[in-house]
Amino acid sequence: MPLLPPRWRLLLVAIAALSLPILSGLAWLLLTGWFDQVHGLVPTGRLGPDNWRFLWEAVGGRPSVWIPLRNSLIFSGVVATVVVLASSMAAYAISRLSFPGRAAYLGLVLVLHAFPAVSLIIAIFFILRRLGLFDTLTGVILVKASLELPLGIWLMKGFFDYLSWEMEMAALVDGVSRWTLFWRIALPMVRPGLLALGTFALLSAWGEFILPFTLIVSNQNWLMSAYLQTFLGEAFTDFGMVAAVGLFYAVPVIVLFLLGQRYLLNIYGGGVKG
């Protein structure tokens, strides 16, 4: 087997060095989650499943972990679905149709993406209170989906820009409506973009903390991020339990990434030419 050129070996060493903190954190989670005691940040004591008792009982007055897990699955799945559908329809209209204010709308979408969610949290709070959606999963879903739309629209516009105009013109000449053209011809041709956007939206929603922590009060509506935060106490933190809950929280997203990583590689491709 031929040796790698020196520059490639140097690149691999740099990547390994940059990945070391992440790998160290994962190793700490794996070890600490199975030790019954943690001295500082060093796992001590004996190995055992005591830190995983949250799987079969409610710990410290918290709800069962399966309630926030269910809420997180609903939250992430609905947000991803809304983002994919709304972004693809808006992006197709921007890419294929000419209408007054198109350039201004594109600029506005980009500006909206520049605003961090935390800077809008007070306005969002009052709006949800007025609409009666505060402390509801529906309200947080609508807020998170709306914040993800600017990126989704720009991403999907890039995919639709690659589609062949001749194919669409031929379909329109044959009497196909714009709606049918969008659903049956355009969308299947940008499937890699839909899958990539759906994966990104799902990952973003799964890791969201600020919005559910601020806009949800009832523990029956908690997401996994808020549930995990309750184990971080001011006076005492059970790091063994934190590590175990963190691992449990990470498993679904790791499985999702392993299943969807090949679609993420198509993020700069899409559509067909000719």
In a domain, 271, yes or no: no
Is the residue at 1 inside a domain? no
pLDDT class for 266, splitting at 50, 70, 90? low
Q: Are residues 136 and 229 in the same domain?
A: yes
pLDDT at 268: 47
Angle between helices 66-96 and 191-206 (to 10 degrees): 140
Q: Which residues contact 221 (CB under 8 A, 6 or more apart)?
A: 71, 135, 136, 137
E strands, the chain, in order: 35-39, 42-47
- Quote the pLDDT of residue 272: 43
DSSP-derived letter for residue 98 is -
Whole-angstrom distance, CA of residue 168 vs CA of residue 174 = 10
Percentage above 70 pLDDT, the chain = 92
- Are 115 and 95 within one domain? yes
Structure-block tokens of residue 90: 């808006």
Q: What is the model's pLDDT at position 2?
A: 56
Domain of 104?
62-264
Instruction: State yes or no: pLDDT of 3 exceeds 70.
Output: no
Looking at the structure, do residues 20 and 121 belong to the same domain, yes or no? no
**Domain limit, last residue, from 54, 74, 91:** 54
Residue type, 10: L
Contacts of 245 (CB under 8 A, 6+ apart): 54, 65, 227, 228, 231
Domain count within the chain: 2
Q: Do residues 149 and 223 both lie within one domain?
A: yes
**Can you give the pLDDT at residue 263?**
62
- The CA distances from residue 193 to 3, 76, 264, in Å, are 36, 18, 8
CB 35: neighbour CB atoms within 10 A? 21
Mean pLDDT in the chain? Answer: 84
- Please give the Cα distance from 167 to 185 (Å, whole number): 9
| 50 lies in the same domain as 67 | no
Same domain assignment for residues 76 and 26: no
Q: What is the CATH number of the domain that holds 244?
A: 1.10.3720.10
**Do 31 and 147 fall within a single domain?**
no
Same domain, 30 and 72: no
| Residue 273 included in any domain | no
Reported confidence tier of residue 62, pLDDT bands at 50, 70, 90: confident
